């Protein structure tokens, strides 16, 4: 059984629902039950016989202006594990791009970042190239960048705090840097941080990295490693926006693409195209009275 939940931009009418049911039927998916939104929740829920989350998502894209959607196999429940990307997911910025602005090379580095997140460049090579361009930058620019530039994504604190209160293990795993990720994780309430380490000597960035690289394979491995400690049948949630998040998103029970690049969006069975991450809580069925502000 497949279950789809979606939050639509416009009022959910029976006409739109009929169009969706027809589109799903043409894709070989039979709708067995549908519940129109009631009250303030604004969530349309469908139960379906068939397989292929992709076909369901495509049908929804063709009939609704959905701001958030989740298609899952079996009953949707609060996950035991939440693993998330940081840059442009839990925070609204790409840290390395903002840090590059202090070195006067933001445009040059941002172009490489965008291509890497689109999946056009090898992640590790692109990361090392960008870090090398920061050689000689004063380490103090990191603290200034954190204070002046880095802000939480709308709803991020509530999402993390609520899941943690419900017993979910939360892990921030980033292709960015511990210099940023550690304070961001503390701000948002994550239990664990995995990321890359900038090399610093004499108070300045060397242009190198210390230790192994946190790339797409590591992100997925962290999810599987954490999940293995929670016992058989535990559900997982992952959020990310770029190509290096795809293996992690695909490995999760509920893999959400947040305002994502096309390749990441296509790989996900959950999507948040609006700004507010509390849409994830709504789609998981967590009542508003259980939300925590963090």
- Strand, coil or helix: what is 269? coil
Which residues, listed in sequence order, are joined to residue 173 by a DSSP beta bridge?
194
Active-site hit among 18, 87, 122, 138: 87
Distance CA 110, CA 142 (A): 17
Q: Can you read off the two tokens belonging to residue 73? A: 């196999």
Active-site hit among 18, 49, 85, 245: 85
Q: Which residues of 208-234 are buried (b: 16+ CB within 10 A; e: fewer)?
A: ebeeeebbbebbbbbbeebbeeeeeeb
- Catalytic-residue membership of 101: no
- Catalytic-residue membership of 122: no
Q: How far is CA 284 from the centre of its chain?
A: 15
- Strand, coil or helix: what is 46? strand
Distance CA 283, CA 70 (A): 7
Which residues, listed in sequence order, are joined to residue 138 by a DSSP beta bridge?
204
Distance CA 86, CA 132 (A): 21
Residues with a catalytic annotation lie at 85, 87
């Amino acid at each position: 059984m497949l279950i789809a939940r979606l939050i639509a931009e416009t009022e959910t009418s029976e006409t739109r629902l009929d169009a969706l049911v027809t589109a799903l039927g043409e894709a070989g998916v039979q709708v067995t039950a549908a519940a129109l939104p009631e009250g303030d929740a604004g969530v349309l829920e469908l139960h379906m016989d068939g397989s292929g989350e992709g076909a369901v998502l495509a049908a929804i894209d063709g009939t609704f202006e959905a701001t958030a959607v989740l298609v899952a196999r079996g009953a949707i429940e609060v996950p035991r594990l939440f693993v998330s990307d940081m840059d442009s997911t839990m925070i609204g910025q790409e840290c390395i791009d903002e840090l590059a602005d202090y070195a006067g090379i933001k445009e040059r580095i941002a172009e490489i970042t965008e291509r890497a997140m689109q999946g056009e460049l090898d992640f590790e090579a692109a990361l090392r190239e960008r870090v090398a361009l920061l050689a000689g930058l004063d380490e103090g620019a990191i603290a200034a960048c954190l204070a002046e530039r880095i802000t939480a994504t709308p709803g991020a604190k509530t999402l993390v705090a609520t899941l943690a209160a419900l017993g979910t293990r939360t892990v921030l795993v980033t292709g960015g840097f511990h210099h940023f990720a550690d304070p961001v994780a503390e701000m948002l309430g994550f239990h664990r941080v995995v990321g890359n380490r900038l090399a610093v000597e004499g108070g300045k960035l060397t242009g190198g990295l210390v230790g192994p690289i946190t790339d797409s394979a590591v992100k997925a491995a962290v999810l599987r490693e954490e999940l293995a400690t929670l016992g058989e049948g535990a559900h997982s949630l992952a959020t990310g926006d770029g190509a290096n998040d795809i293996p992690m998103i695909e490995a999760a029970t509920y893999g959400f693409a947040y305002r994502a690049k096309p390749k990441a969006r296509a790989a996900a069975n959950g999507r948040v195209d609006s700004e507010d991450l509390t849409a994830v809580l709504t789609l998981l069925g967590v009542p508003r009275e259980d939300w925590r502000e963090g």
